Amino acid sequence: MGHSAVVATAALATLGLTKPADIEIPQITFTVKEMDFSEWKGDLLAVAVSEKDTKDSDSKFQNVFLKRLDDKIGGLLAEAVTEEDFTGKAGQSTFLRLPGLGFKRLGLVGLGSSSSTAAAYRGIGEAVAGVAKAAQANSVAVCLASSDGISEELKINAASAIASGTILGVYEDNRFRSDSKKPLLKTVDVIGFGSGTVVDQKLKYATDVCSGVIFGKELVNAPANVLTPGALAEEASKIATLYSDVLTATILDAEQCKELKMGSYLGVAAASSNPPHFIHLCYKPPNGDVKRKLAIVGKGLTFDSGGYNIKTGPGCSIETMKVDMGGAAAAFGAAKALAQIKPPGVEVHFISAACENMISGTGMRPGDIVTASNGKTIEVNNTDAEGRLTLADALVYACNQGIDKVVDLATLTGACIVALGPSIAGFYSPSDDLAKEIVTASEVTGEKFWRMPLEESYWESMKSGVADMVNTGGRQGGSITAALFLKQFVNEKVQWLHIDMAGPVWNDKKRAATGFGVSTLVEWVMKNSS
């Protein structure tokens, strides 16, 4: 298994002597209730309000529940709403501290007009989490001002989106701070969203997915001196041990990769003093009955200096290149969530060829020719187009697992960010069916994807004078030529889809990882399971 290598790297002191603190991820208990929310007792009562529910001209609420609440507190709510010009728009909220009632704080949170989207309800959860943190609340209730015209199915999905928003809103990655406050939020009552086993299952599902998203965020947030390829392999192996009923881990070292002829991947890894680790987790359903075999391949560059084509100059983003394993983080985050959900009928392979792209005398030079595990030769005209070189061997390996479909995720090109901006991932696929599956999954999760063209005529720029191909074709259409390159390493019998997530892996404003990809991948696997 090559585990000895993992242990050896872990024994060395981390550069800079930084150790992530062992911080417990907050466990919040969600309970669905049907009750008159003005009778609820606890720290914080939040009411989700749409633009239809707010006041009419004579400063009285149109909504009966809001009227009743307002009467209970002597009209203070109507006054606050007028003063703060609260109209129920998405992103608006107003909170009051009140004496002598069952709840200490009462708040209205805006749903906007499109109260039917998962994103709107996730926003409610995030807003509530923010106030709960600031007010040091232990117990919170969230309810709808009006459930007119909202189907049972939408209510269930809304409850689950509120739960997700709350969990991810409360979570803060404080592993690398010298001191940090513990979040106090313990219980959330979800009132008026239906009740029964279906809602309970959906809330458990939301909690499982969030634990995968948080794991993905932690992997991306961890700096490259802490999360080396060996450490990434160790984290993946830990999940397999934790859920050994459904997951197994295989970690290949450089020697084993050499036997599998992975010259393209090993060429990228050659310069670093941190050895490469090829990571393969396999999920098998508890009853062993498999109808579909899927693979999720994530790019796993724990740091990308660019190699001899070093990233230089303003805007080269070398200082954020710890995020270059965002694809692997999404894959292993999804693995963690699915290991808890345990979908029947699908076998899923989670694969990442993890390494660092560094500079040294043993490294790959521009102009070198590497040979991938399917025998194809590549003239490396740019050492900073390295992700595709590692993915080449990972995709060949994935297709050898006897799979039906493969999705790869990679922080692959700056070109994709230029095309789609920072919050949308581009995706490419020769298969319309698989493209539809990913779009359908993303509509449920609210993550943003946009299909891009696999324009075959652009392959012309990827031709080499000496080898089968070069690894980069110039600036124009750079994300497209990268996708065409990957296609050379996928078995034609396997349906394949490539996601370029260089933009949405990171949130610049929050200076933190987003966990992008995890929830959509889980949703995709679930659809293939049913």
Which entry of 311, 376, 448, 451 is annotated as an active-site residue? Answer: 311
- Which amino acid, residue 231? A
Tokens of 58: 């004579």
Q: How far is CA 289 from CA 242, 283, 286, 522, in A?
A: 22, 12, 8, 19
Q: At what angle do helices 197-221 and 229-242 cross, to 10 degrees?
A: 160
With H, G, I as helix, E, B as strand and everything else as coil, classify residue 68. helix
Report the alpha-carbon distance of residue 412 to residue 414 in Å, rounded: 7
Report the alpha-carbon distance of residue 530 to residue 522 in Å, rounded: 13
Tokens of 308: 């001899």
With H, G, I as helix, E, B as strand and everything else as coil, classify residue 465. coil
> Torsion angle of alpha carbons 214, 218, 219, 225, nearest 10°?
180
Closest residue by Cα to residue 385 from 488, 263, 481, 266? 481
Contact status, residue 297 vs residue 351, Cβ threshold 8 Å: yes
Phi/psi for 194 (5° steps) reads: 85, 175
Q: How far is CA 457 from CA 468, 481, 498, in A?
A: 16, 10, 19
- Which amino acid, residue 486? L
Closest residue by Cα to residue 367 from 382, 348, 347, 355? 382
388 is a catalytic site residue? yes
Report CA 157 to chain centroid distance, whole Å: 19
The residues that bridge with 373 in the sheet, in sequence order, are none
- Cα atoms in the Cβ-side hemisphere of radius 13 Å centred on 210: 24
Contact status, residue 416 vs residue 499, Cβ threshold 8 Å: no
Report the alpha-carbon distance of residue 46 to residue 127 in Å, rounded: 9
Report the alpha-carbon distance of residue 469 to residue 240 in Å, rounded: 37
Which entry of 202, 322, 336, 388 is annotated as an active-site residue? Answer: 388
Contact status, residue 516 vs residue 425, Cβ threshold 8 Å: yes
Q: Is the torsion defined by CA of 496, 497, 500, 506 positive or negative?
A: negative
Catalytically annotated residues: 311, 388
